Chains A and B, each alone.
Chain A
Amino acid sequence: MIETQFTPDAAGAIPGPDWLVQRRIAAAEQVAAAPMPSVEEEVWRYTPIGQLDLSRYQLAADPGAQSPASAPDHIGIADISNGRLCAVELASEAAAQGVEIRPMSESDADLAASVDVDLFALMNAAFSVEPVLVHIPPGASVEGPIVVRHWLDTDGGAVFPRLIVDAGADSSVEVLELYGSADVAAFISPVVEIRAAAAARVGYLAVQDLGPKVWHIGSQVSHIGSQAHLRASTAALGGAYARTRLDTHLSGRGATGDLISLYFGDGEQTLDFRTFQDHAAPDTTSSLLFKGAVDDASRSVYTGLIRVRPDARGTNAYQTNRNIKLSEDAWAESVPNLEIENNEVHCSHASAVGPIDGEQLFYLESRGVPTETAERLIVTGFFDEVLDQFPVAGAVPAVRDRLQAKIAGLSHHHAGNGSGS
């Protein structure tokens, strides 16, 4: 039971289409009855969730500034400030194909699937002020990404952005979400729903670069239809505690999901990923590669589950998580899991946590590259494999620069060079 201002009355007071108001109230009633998550639950293990005091946050009332982040070349852009949609632009050639970027309306009730995977997704359902729909009609093919830029600048604000990417059959689209904030102590709990209908091709990249006092507890839920292909990626760079849960449902025969992400923790950050690759149909393929580095006193958590349901014969599912521990005080947890209920499958998982490879370091040093430079080259190179596979290629240079800036500040309290010296 959570005693906060996040009540059914507060949810019911948020304006919107009737179906949405009803859904908010119902979700808020569930929120009011739900216990706070605890580290006793496997899915919250290793987290600082016990430190979360929701009473410190208020629903952010007003939009503030728009995101100053620069967007790569795009075909459409939406600016969301403190959870409110402030501005939308869409190129006429996309609009002519029936592409839409807009708040949800009376007629969208059937698009509002339940994705209440945890308390925070429920809170999002209850308190999302302005869910935004990106709709790509069947057969439409959009060149250039649609950018959704988030900005938070209310100290003590709680925001619950919700984005629905609805890609029709045989359509093609890329979506880039940029999360940033002023130096405020805010709480953001975003939900992204991606629906890739039959044979749709969807690329999605989230770049999370929130300020160091922001808590981020987000959820990405995808449904990939028959012969559809989703490439979904996250670059997690900012936040105090920043968590993303991914539920990827391979729902149609022949569906493919590539889940390629990176994270870099420094200072006192905790970066947390929980992934679920749910193979519910035959001949489905999922490939997951998450690479992370932890410096200073930061922490990272990766736990992943591949689930192959009884009908999902012919599944190929891969899960790889690799972590570099860059300082004595940093800590990375990596827990891969398989749950397989069909015998005709190919599944593999791999996970590793370790310091910078001592042999690689020695090779570069033996050529005259000073230790600190060699470490930067190796850590940068470690992430190349991920960056090379990101969707929304136009956004990659900015991610690379941001990563470089973090790598430039590598701490020099090393966890040892792993060469046995």
Chain B
Amino acid sequence: MSESKKETAKSELVVEGLHVRVGGQMVLNGVDLRVASGEVHAVMGPNGSGKSTLAYAIMGRPGYEVTAGSITLNGVNLLDLSPWERAHAGLFSTQQYPTEVPGVGLEIMLEEAVAATGGDRSAVESQVVAEADLVGFDLDLLYRSLNVDLSGGEMKRSEAVQLGVLRPRIAILDELDSGLDVDALAAVSHRIEQATHEDNLGVLAITHFSRLLTVLHADVVHILIEGAIAETGGPELAAQLEETGYDPWIDTRAESPVEIHLGGDPWA
């Protein structure tokens, strides 16, 4: 990546009071987050707390219905935009299990994405080669269909190549470390950190385990419990979580409705 392409403009993803329903069930019940350029935020939570739903809702996946709240990127209301328009606005997301797309290669997809924003599709090939080198993505795999017959590590390296070529403002990484060997995790995390420094990329890393944060260093850690942020803090929060697990936060949440019930019930 050339020095001249360094991005200095500030961007901010703002999520306010986000309520999301999936398949008739409320999964997010008022999430507030702000991720600015150059920052790495981790959203941590147990299974079923709504982590993936948060990622999908921000990207605009069909079936993830926002019932209240807002999502903006640099003041642009993302809820009015389709997923590809959100990508053009500067958003990028990786999936925990990237979808196989038979017959569609990495390069043609990136060429179409770049061309759709008025970029130069002929520059994509050399960018892909350079990015593949940065994360150790085997160039022979370029001729395979997207995510078809790739190992977990190869898929995430492929996504890091995509991020490098597309140069988003904000990246949402859903369980980046799942299925990754140590080398792949280090290579991909290093590339993302580099983008936060050189390109001012803002990152929202969604993860169940603190393992990811030993290689991808978070500035801010949010604990997501039952569809809402239970606590926000610095990296020390992840360290605390490593010791205690999610129980302390889950207990807090479980007690509070009971207190309200006792105080509000005239027959108690």
Q: Could you list which residues of chain A lie within 8 angstroms of chain B, going by C-beta atoms?
A: 358-360, 362-371, 373-374, 377-378, 380-385, 417, 419-421
Find out whether the CB atom of A366 lies under 8 angstroms from the CB atom of B83. Answer: yes
Find out whether the CB atom of A367 lies under 8 angstroms from the CB atom of B82. Answer: no
Which residues from chain A contact B65 at a C-beta distance below 8 Å?
421
Answer whether A365 and B84 are a contact pair too, CB < 8 Å, given A381-B102, A420-B63, A421-B63. yes
Answer whether A369 and B113 are a contact pair too, CB < 8 Å, given A363-B146, A420-B63. yes
Find out whether the CB atom of B103 lies under 8 angstroms from the CB atom of A385. Answer: yes
Binds A, one of B33-41, B87-95, B257-265: B87-95
Which residues from chain B contact A380 at a C-beta distance below 8 Å?
103-104
Find out whether the CB atom of A374 lies under 8 angstroms from the CB atom of B23. Answer: no
Measured CB to CB, the nearest residue on chain B to A388 is B103
Q: Of the candidates B84, B108, B112, B117, which one forms a contact with A366 in the assembled complex, judged by CB atoms under 8 Å apart?
A: B84
Find out whether the CB atom of B82 lies under 8 angstroms from the CB atom of A381. Answer: no
Find out whether the CB atom of A385 lies under 8 angstroms from the CB atom of B99. Answer: no
* Interface residue ranges of B81-127 to A (CB < 8 Å): 82-84, 86-88, 92-93, 95, 98-104, 108-110, 112-114, 116-117
Find out whether the CB atom of B84 lies under 8 angstroms from the CB atom of A371. Answer: yes
Measured CB to CB, the nearest residue on chain B to A417 is B62
Answer whether A373 and B102 are a contact pair too, CB < 8 Å, given A363-B95, A365-B82, A365-B84. no
Q: Of the candidates A358, A365, A381, A385, which one forms a contact with B87 in the assembled complex, judged by CB atoms under 8 Å apart?
A: A365
Measured CB to CB, the nearest residue on chain A to B165 is A367
Give the residue among B63, B86, B95, B109 with the most A Cβ atoms within 10 A. B109
Which residues from chain B contact A374 at a C-beta distance below 8 Å?
84, 112
Find out whether the CB atom of B112 lies under 8 angstroms from the CB atom of A362. Answer: no
Answer whether A362 and B62 are a contact pair too, CB < 8 Å, given A381-B102, A420-B23. yes
B155 to chain A, nearest CB (A): 11
What are the 6 A-B residue pairs with the smallest beta carbon separation, nearest first?
A381-B103, A421-B62, A368-B87, A384-B103, A368-B113, A365-B83
Find out whether the CB atom of A362 lies under 8 angstroms from the CB atom of B87. Answer: no
Find out whether the CB atom of B63 lies under 8 angstroms from the CB atom of A369. Answer: no
B251 to chain A, nearest CB (A): 34
Give the residue among A360, A365, A380, A421 with the most B Cβ atoms within 10 A. A365
Find out whether the CB atom of B84 lies under 8 angstroms from the CB atom of A369. Answer: yes
Q: Of the candidates A359, A377, A385, which one forms a contact with B112 in the assembled complex, judged by CB atoms under 8 Å apart?
A: A377
Q: Of the candidates A360, A365, A368, A371, which one forms a contact with B166 in the assembled complex, judged by CB atoms under 8 Å apart?
A: A368
Residue B145 at the chain A interface, CB threshold 8 Å:
yes
Give the residue among A360, A362, A366 with the most B Cβ atoms within 10 A. A366
* Further 5 A-B residue pairs, CB within 8 A, beyond A363-B95, A368-B114, A419-B63: A360-B104, A369-B109, A370-B84, A377-B101, A421-B65
Assembly CA distance A79 to B40 (angstroms): 68
B224 to chain A, nearest CB (A): 21
B21 to chain A, nearest CB (A): 12
A-B contact pairs, 8 of them (CB 8 A): A360-B99, A364-B109, A365-B83, A366-B83, A367-B84, A367-B109, A378-B101, A382-B103
Which residues from chain B contact A365 at a C-beta distance below 8 Å?
82-84, 87
Give the residue among A377, A378, A383, A421 with the most B Cβ atoms within 10 A. A377
Which residues from chain A contact B62 at a C-beta distance below 8 Å?
358, 362, 417, 419-421
Find out whether the CB atom of A366 lies under 8 angstroms from the CB atom of B93. Answer: yes
Question: Interface size on B (CB < 8 Å)?
Answer: 34
Which residues from chain A contact B114 at a C-beta distance below 8 Å?
368
Assembly CA distance A377 to B145 (angstroms): 11
| A-side interface mostly | helix
Residue B59 at the chain A interface, CB threshold 8 Å:
yes
Find out whether the CB atom of A362 lies under 8 angstroms from the CB atom of B103. Answer: no
A409 to chain B, nearest CB (A): 18
Residue B29 at the chain A interface, CB threshold 8 Å:
no
Residue B162 at the chain A interface, CB threshold 8 Å:
yes
Assembly CA distance A365 to B162 (angstroms): 13
Assembly CA distance A358 to B101 (angstroms): 11
Measured CB to CB, the nearest residue on chain A to B87 is A368
Answer whether A363 and B87 are a contact pair too, CB < 8 Å, given A368-B116, A369-B113, A421-B63. no
Assembly CA distance A367 to B110 (angstroms): 8
Assembly CA distance A420 to B21 (angstroms): 13
Assembly CA distance A370 to B113 (angstroms): 7
Find out whether the CB atom of A367 lies under 8 angstroms from the CB atom of B87. Answer: yes
Which residues from chain B contact A377 at a C-beta distance below 8 Å?
101, 104, 108-109, 112
Residue B61 at the chain A interface, CB threshold 8 Å:
yes
Q: Of the candidates B61, B116, B162, which one forms a contact with A362 in the assembled complex, judged by CB atoms under 8 Å apart?
A: B61
A209 to chain B, nearest CB (A): 22
Which residues from chain A contact B84 at a C-beta distance below 8 Å?
365-371, 374
B129 to chain A, nearest CB (A): 18
Measured CB to CB, the nearest residue on chain A to B91 is A366
Find out whether the CB atom of A384 lies under 8 angstroms from the CB atom of B102. Answer: yes
Find out whether the CB atom of A364 lies under 8 angstroms from the CB atom of B101. Answer: yes
Measured CB to CB, the nearest residue on chain A to B115 is A373
A293 to chain B, nearest CB (A): 13
Which residues from chain B contact A368 at a C-beta distance below 8 Å?
84, 87-88, 113-114, 116-117, 166
Which residues from chain B contact A383 at a C-beta distance below 8 Å?
103
Which residues from chain A contact B145 at a C-beta distance below 8 Å?
381, 384
Assembly CA distance A363 to B146 (angstroms): 10
Measured CB to CB, the nearest residue on chain A to B159 is A367
Find out whether the CB atom of A378 lies under 8 angstroms from the CB atom of B109. Answer: no
B160 to chain A, nearest CB (A): 13
Measured CB to CB, the nearest residue on chain B to A358 is B62
Find out whether the CB atom of B116 lies under 8 angstroms from the CB atom of A369. Answer: yes
Find out whether the CB atom of B116 lies under 8 angstroms from the CB atom of A370. Answer: yes
Measured CB to CB, the nearest residue on chain A to B62 is A421
A8 to chain B, nearest CB (A): 51
Give the residue among A363, A371, A383 with the most B Cβ atoms within 10 A. A363
Assembly CA distance A94 to B108 (angstroms): 41
Assembly CA distance A112 to B84 (angstroms): 59
